[in-house]
Structures are given as structure tokens and as C-alpha cells.
Structure 1
Amino acid sequence: MRTQGIGRRTTQRIGRTTRTWTALAAVGALALTGCGGDADGDGSKEDPPAGGSGTPRASVELPKLAGEKIEVAAVWTGPEQENFTKVLKEFEKRTGATVTFVPAQDPIVTFLGTKVAGGQPPDVALLPQVGALVSAVQNKWAQPLGPEAQAQLDKNYSPGWKALGAVGGTQYGVYYKAANKSLVWYNAKAFKAAGAQVPKTWKEFLTTADTVSASGVPAVSVGGADGWTLTDWFENIYLSQAGPEKYDKLAKHEIKWTDDSVKQALATLAELFGRKDFLAGGQSGALATEFPKSVTQTFTGGEQPAAAMVFEGDFVAVNIAQTEARIGTDALVFPFPAVGAKSPVVSGGDVAVALKPSKGAQALLTFLASPDAAEIQARQGGFVSPNKAVDFAAYPNDIQRDIAKALIAAGDDFRFDMSDQAPAAFGGTPGAGEWKALQDFLKNPADIAGTQARLEADAAKAYGR
């Protein structure tokens, strides 16, 4: 699978403006003040929505589909899957269709290829990588967006998010879900007990990690069993340290992974991964920890959790909701610390695409492109939509509301997840490519040169160079 065509799209080359930093700074300020918490002392885990009754609105007209059966595939599990199911239930209510969620596995391109080969593709799939969309189009699986869905997309999305769902000038996908993947969530009680300060720079982050670890609580919980979390660590450091131009070139493999800028980023990451006392369970424990556990173990145990911090996107809120921690009081957040001049802003997302030329598939894409669908899932927490028509009051607390506002305020000024732009063989396959190379690096952070060599060999093979 090749992604050079995607690299030429303007979305991945756009620079950041002051709006991005100002908006994200608001999230950091919110974390420091603890807004959105249990100000009234009523014990509630989250604030109620700022406005509205919580009743799903109906801003888009959908066809009647009584008797039609629709399958939707995605790699979501647990609370994320449960929350999306609520969206599908509303679609069923409005159309009369029966919708079945089909759990997919990574890499989703392989999963879908098996379904297509067996003559049973799902009607709609939500793809977590840009490269997966390109592959679906190249394999002639994907169906172009119909006029009703296109109208919703034109009305509710910025040009950048629309471009990410297009291939070769044809619109195929709707970015239903977005993510701000440049956030660090922390346990407020553990920070207070340690006397730790919220950092703004990488140097301050390491000092905070030292302070927390000295108190008897490991600083950071890393979900190393899921290799994609490690790519997110690398990408945030690389973007802040090497800058957006280098980031764009590495994303398209226009520079090699043996470049000195990669060496510097890995050396910076090794300052964290190389400290066994900084990591919950040390390196071996981190490699055995899956992403959901990396979050929940950070927010259980009172002042003595398994770790004081966990890095990942806004979707962490879904997993925090599975604990007793209250977002805005017990669980706070700050922007990924600046390694270079500024903190990074890395975004990701899931694009919905029709794999069957059916009326039901296009109707579901129309629904997913409307604010109606996104507002249902936004109320559940741990979800951010790039749909600019979504009512911010739908988000359940001030922290998540401000994260959503920052995303919309940034407009097209962001960098998309680098591994998600890559061919799936390199950037999106468990036990292979970048995921495996960075897992090996977590196991042995001193082997920077060997890690670079493996990354370059795998990238060259995946990009066909």
C-alpha cells in the first residue's frame, strides 16, 4: 500500500498558527484550576451538560429503511464500542433498519480483505488510519460518498477534515471521530501527595517524574503491549523537537529513519523509557500493559496508584469513567510538554466509509456526518468530533468541552498522526513495523542505532523503496 498521494494533500502539510497553541493552552489552564470537577461536593463524577436536555436532536432527514440489515465494522472495544452502539440505536429508531456492530481486528485492512474475499464485507467500516482508506480505495472496496452525506459533510466540516476523507479528488469518507493525541492525564491526589508540579517543558516533565517517583509512586503508566501508544510518544516528541517540516517528510518517508533527527527524538524518549523507576512495572511491566489498563491503574488506589500520569488522547476519559476518579477533580490533564520551542499538537481520527453500494450504508454515513450522531456519543464522554456544528454543551464536563473547543478552533492547523499516514504494514500492524520496533526500543532504550536501522528497513519495505 502506497501513501505518497496522501502526503501531497494539503491537510498533512499545513502549519500551525497561534490559535492552536492558545486553544490548547486553555486546556492546560483548566487542568491547573481543576475546573469541571465536583465543585458542589455532590460526589458526581462528571458535570452535567452545560445546556440542553440530552435528548438526541434530529437536524437531518433520513430515509425509511424498515427491514434493511446493516453491518458496521470498527476496531473499537469496551466502553468505546458501547457508546457507539447508542448512536447506532438512534439510527435504528429513525430509519427502522437493524444495525449490527462487527468487532474488527488490527490491521483492519487485513480483516476487511478477508471479509471481502468471503463475499461478506460490512456495509460501513470505520478506519483508524489514513493509509487504510487509501488501501480500501485502491482495492476497489470503498464506495464514493452519496449526495446526502456529501451535503452534511460540506455543511459541517472544515476543508482539512474533508480532504483527509478523500482520495484522488473523490470523497469517500466521513471523519466521525477525532482525537487530540497530545495530552497527559494525571492523578491529582498522587501529585498533591508528592508535591509535584505540572510541567510545561520536557525538562520539567522529567523533574516532575523524579519527584513523583521519589514519593513511592511510579511516574508514568505506559500501555506498551499496544504498540500504537509508543508511536504516539515518539510522534509528539519528534514534532516538538524536529519541527513540522521534518515531521511531514518523515511521515512520507522523504527522509530516512536513520536521520539524525530520529536519533535525537529516540534519545529524548530514552530519558523516560530508560528509567525503570519512572515506569509502572518497569520496562517489562509496561510491555505487558494494554492501553485500557494503563489508564485505569493510574486512577485507582487513591494516593498510591500504579502510576501518577498516563499519556494519551482525549479518549482516555472513556477509561477513566471505569474507575472511581472524577474528571476535573481527581483526574486532570495538561498539554504534552514542549521538547522544542512549543508543545506538539498531534491529531488522529476514525473515518467512516461505505463498502457496499446500498441505500442503508449511505444513510448511515449521512447520519454520522451530521451533528446528531456525534452529540449522542459526546454525552458519553471520551469522544471528540471534528464536526463544527456539534453543540459544545453535549460534552459532559469542562475539560472535555475545552478539548473539543480547541480542536474546532484549530481548524485545519494540526499534524495528523504519523503512523496512521503510513502503509499499514509499517504503521498499523501489531507485532510488526513501527509498533514492534518501538516495543523493542522500550525493552532496550539504549539501542538507538539498532532501533533506527530496524525502523528504516521496515519503512523502506512498506513504502516500496
Structure 2
Amino acid sequence: MSWKLHHGAAIAAVALAMVAGCGVTAGAGSGSAGSDVSGRSLEVIGEWTGEEQANFQKVLNGFTARTHVKVTYTSGGNNVNILLNSRLTGGAPPDVALVPQPGVVAEYARKGMLVPLTGDAAAAVSTNYSDAWKQLGVVDGRLYGFFFKVANKSVVWYRTDDFRAAGARPPSTWDDFIDTSKTLADSGVTPIAVPAADGWPVTDWFENVYLRVAGSDKYAELAAHRLAWTDPTVVRALSVLGGYFGTPNMIEKGATQLTFTQAVADVFGERPKAAMLYEGDFVTGEIGKLGAARIGGDAKLFNFPSIDGSAPAVVSAGDEAVQFRDSPGARALMAYLASPEAARIWAQAGGFLSANSELDLSAYPDDSTRAMAQALVTSSVVQFDMSDQTPQSFGGQAGADEWRLLTDFVAHPGDPAGTAAALEAAATKDYGSRS
């Protein structure tokens, strides 16, 4: 991803023209001028709730203000794919959806459920996204989507008061991370909250450790199941994680019942129970909603630590905008979402990173967010969230096999080889059933 620090008046003018002009009038099947969308209505489905939903609504309001198209947002929460599958089965797809797994998007595309992007929407993606990000929206040679909201899922958040009281410093290596955690524990503070109840945060833990233990090539092979989950690199990564999770007094008790939202509150709320929380940039929105800690003051971050001398690396993720219904309004909305103007609205509200290379970093509200955005550029290795590339039954939805097995591993971390074997059995079943 190529972030540009400039964003002059000419670029803004082009983006506004795309949305307010050609992107608002579109001919059927092409995205060219010819059909007025004013007065029409659209539905968008996404996973966002709470603060994120409110901020995305601001983006949709910006589209409505320009086009007079009413947009209804429906949240599927953590079960967005279940909602989409139900709607598709019932013959009632939304106009547009934001899907958090490119593997799921590929399934939809290959089943003929998605509209390929053409015209103004495709042009906006070509203009505003790097080749690496554009390629993530391509299925079998055709562009079907783009990532509107992305995440840097390789940072650890911490309470500065707990670190100061314990005499702890932000670590840069895994060994230092263990030492810092022990220092916090010795001071009487639980080092870290691990929200295993939701499943996906534990897959993120594994992916960050695996990327640093095995490297980028094996990461990609494992994501595609060209490498078995019983490979020694997987067992090694699980051993690293298991050693940490299994150390007494290291993680907050009841991890398998702890949700992500509650974990944020347990670290940065009025009654903190732990000093650290691993997760992505989107934590900022939840911290802000609590109102008990200030980003950059009470709450700071450090990059996920290096393991065995691994180079700086980032696991990214995102919500891919795709089109299920072909209409001038849907094409106009896709072109708008691919513009820097749409990205800027949410960036200024906080809790957001964009893959849009034309978005000026100054749009982000604080140094922490700008640092996370910059890390996506400066890190030697950037990989997309592994579980989001897998079949839904393995890693793409609540209750998926990987989510379940890794949640169990948090509670019983003493058998990495056994967990690896169970993951391989599940992957063999789930990848084999993917069409």
C-alpha cells in the first residue's frame, strides 16, 4: 500500500467530480453517464455495530447529501456472513455489502452472486488504490471489490499508569514481552486480557506469532492450505503461544468467556483488571466510547514484538465493499466508497484506517493512528488476515473450526501438536468442501 502525504485541490476536485457527477449517473452495466439516481433507495449490509456503525452512517450520510439516494444500513455483527447467506438463499440480497473475508468474497464471485466492478467504480479503485490492494479484490481475473476499511492488527495497547508503577517499558522482542509481562504480574497487575470468547482475536494472536516464526511465504501457503497445519512451523508457533498463555498469572482469568468489547473495558475502563490488550487499530473507537482513558496519554501502543529476530511485520485485515445488485445507485455508491472523500469522513472520526492511497495522513485524528497507518508502509512484511482468507466453515464466521479450536487452546495450551493435528483435520474437511 502506498500512502501519499499530499492531497492537493486537483485530486479533491477529481474525486468530487467522480462522486457528484459520473458516479451519480450511470448507465446499466457500464457505470457511464445516463441514469439519474436521485430519489432511489439502497441497502448496505456490514458487520459494524455501536461506534463503528455510527461512524459509517456518517459516510453514508455524505453519499445521501450528494445524491439524494436513501441508504439503509443493516448490521450483521459478528454473524454478517450468516445474515448474507440467509438473504441470498431467500433471494433478497442487499445492494452492497462490506464483507470481512476475501475468501468468502471469492466464493460469492465464483457462484455468480456478485456484480463485477466496471465504469466509475472500477476507475475509482484504479486511481485510489495500490496494485497490492487492488489485487486483493480480484477473483479469477475480474475486479469484484475493494477494501474500504482496513486494520493494522499488529499492535499491543497498554495502560501507561500500570507500566509506570511497575517500572515496565514497551517491549520490542518476544523475550522482552515475556519479561515485561512478568514485571507487571510481580507488581500485582494482571499483564494482559485475551478475549477468547469471540474466537477471532485468538486467530489474530496465532497469525502474528506465525508470521514472525515462519515468514511470509509459509504464511501464504498455510492460508491457502498448501501447507499442512501439522507442519513444524505451526507447532512451533502454537508452542510459543502456549508457553505464554499457560504461564500462571499471565492472562486475565476467564479468557474463554471474555468478549472483545469487555476486554477493552477491562483494560481501559473505570475499573481496570489488566494492563495490556493485543488487538488492532479499531480498539481506539472502543476506548473512546468508554471515556475513561485518553489515546496517546493513558492508552498507548507498541508494535507486536519480533520473535527470533524477525523483521517488522504487520497482519492486516479489512472490510471489502462488493456489489450484489446491479443498478445506477449501487454503482454510484461503490464509486463513492472508493473515493478519498468517503474515507476522510470516517478517518476524521477515529477508529479507522484506509487502504485508499489518496487519503492524506493528516486526516487521522491522533499520532497513534497515524503511526499505525505508517506501519503498513514501513514494515518489511504485510500479510492479510489468514482466517479471513479461508472457507467460512474453517475461519470465516462465528463457530468456525479454527475459532473453536484456538479458543479451546487458550484454555488448554499444553498440547500444541494435538491442536495442530485437530486444525489440520478441520482444514482438510473445510477446504475440501469449498467450491
Fold equivalence (TM over 0.5): yes
State the alpha-carbon separation in 1 of the partners of residues 375 and 249 from structure 2.
34
Q: Contact 1:434/1:455 (CA < 8 Å) preserved in 2?
A: yes
Q: Deviations over 1:10-69 (max 9, x none)?
A: x9xxxxxxx99xxxxxxxxxxxxxxxxxxxxxxxxxxxxxx99xx999463332532211
Instruction: State the SS of the aligned residue for 2:317.
Output: strand
Are 1:267 and 2:239 counterparts? yes
Aligned-residue offset at 1:308: 0.6
State the alpha-carbon separation in 1 of the partners of residues 117 and 108 from structure 2.
14
Q: Contact 1:71/1:124 (CA < 8 Å) preserved in 2?
A: yes
Q: Which residue of 1 aligns with 2:387?
A: 419
User: When the two structures are superposed, what TM-score results if normalisation uses the length of structure 2?
Assistant: 0.90
Q: Deviations over 1:69-102 (max 9, x none)?
A: 1000011111111110110111111110111111
Q: Contact 1:105/1:111 (CA < 8 Å) preserved in 2?
A: no
Q: Which residue of 2 aligns with 1:73?
A: 45
Q: Deviations over 1:140-169 (max 9, x none)?
A: 111011210111111111001001011011
Q: Which amino acid aligns with 1:456?
A: E
Q: Which residue of 1 aligns with 2:55?
A: 83
Provide the aligned length of Structure 1 versus Structure 2.
410
Q: Which amino acid aligns with 2:289?
A: Q
Q: Which amino acid aligns with 2:229?
A: W
Are 1:437 and 2:409 counterparts? no
Instruction: State the SS of the aligned residue for 1:298.
Output: helix
Aligned-residue offset at 1:105: 4.6
Q: Deviations over 1:368-392 (max 9, x none)?
A: 1000000000011110001011121
State the alpha-carbon separation in 2 of the partners of residues 344 and 61 from structure 1.
35
Give structure 2 stretches of 5+ with no counterpart: 25-35
Comparing 257-266 with 401-410, greater Cα deviation is found at 401-410
Are 1:358 and 2:316 counterparts? no
State the alpha-carbon separation in 2 of the partners of residues 168 and 420 from structure 1.
18
Q: Which residue of 2 aligns with 1:36?
A: none
Give structure 1 stretches of 5+ with no counterpart: 1-10, 12-18, 21-50
Instruction: State the SS of the aligned residue for 1:420.
Output: helix
Q: Which amino acid aligns with 1:240?
A: R
Aligned-residue offset at 1:124: 0.3
Which of 355, 369, 375 is equivalent to 1:406?
375
State the alpha-carbon separation in 1 of the partners of residues 361 and 403 from structure 2.
35
State the alpha-carbon separation in 1 of the partners of residues 333 and 308 from structure 2.
43
State the alpha-carbon separation in 2 of the partners of residues 360 and 389 from structure 1.
24
Instruction: State the SS of the aligned residue for 1:322.
Output: helix
State the alpha-carbon separation in 1 of the partners of residues 303 and 128 from structure 2.
27
Q: Which amino acid aligns with 2:302?
A: F
Q: Which residue of 2 aligns with 1:311?
A: 278
Are 1:337 and 2:295 counterparts? no
Q: Which amino acid aligns with 1:83?
A: N
Q: Contact 1:388/1:408 (CA < 8 Å) preserved in 2?
A: no
Q: Deviations over 1:152-207 (max 9, x none)?
A: 11111100100101101100102101111110011101111111111111111011
Alignment of 1:180-329 (within 5 A): 180-280=152-252, 282=253, 285-301=254-270, 305-323=272-290, 324-329=292-297
Aligned-residue offset at 1:268: 0.4
Instruction: State the SS of the aligned residue for 1:72.
Output: strand
Q: Which amino acid aligns with 1:205?
A: F
Q: Contact 2:314/2:375 (CA < 8 Å) preserved in 1?
A: no
State the alpha-carbon separation in 2 of the partners of residues 78 and 441 from structure 1.
30
Q: Deviations over 1:281-337 (max 9, x none)?
A: x2xx11111112211221124xx7211110111111111111221111111110001
Aligned-residue offset at 1:413: 5.2
Instruction: State the SS of the aligned residue for 1:184.
Output: strand
Instruction: State the SS of the aligned residue for 2:302.
Output: strand
Q: Which residue of 2 aligns with 1:61?
A: 19
Q: Contact 1:296/1:322 (CA < 8 Å) preserved in 2?
A: no
Q: Which residue of 2 aligns with 1:130?
A: 102
Q: Which amino acid aligns with 2:91?
A: G
Which of 146, 149, 168 is equivalent to 2:140?
168
State the alpha-carbon separation in 1 of the partners of residues 256 and 174 from structure 2.
23
Instruction: State the SS of the aligned residue for 1:379.
Output: helix
State the alpha-carbon separation in 2 of the partners of residues 449 and 426 from structure 1.
19
Q: Deviations over 1:322-378 (max 9, x none)?
A: 122111111111000111322431111111000001111111110110000000000
State the alpha-carbon separation in 1 of the partners of residues 71 and 383 from structure 2.
34
User: When the two structures are superposed, what TM-score results if normalisation uses the length of structure 1?
Assistant: 0.84
Aligned-residue offset at 1:450: 2.2
State the alpha-carbon separation in 1 of the partners of residues 318 and 158 from structure 2.
23
Q: Contact 1:59/1:372 (CA < 8 Å) preserved in 2?
A: no
Q: Which amino acid aligns with 1:365?
A: M
Against the structure 1 CA distance between its residues 422 and 401, is the aligned structure 2 distance closer, same or farther, given a 3 Å change threshold? same
Instruction: State the SS of the aligned residue for 1:154.
Output: helix
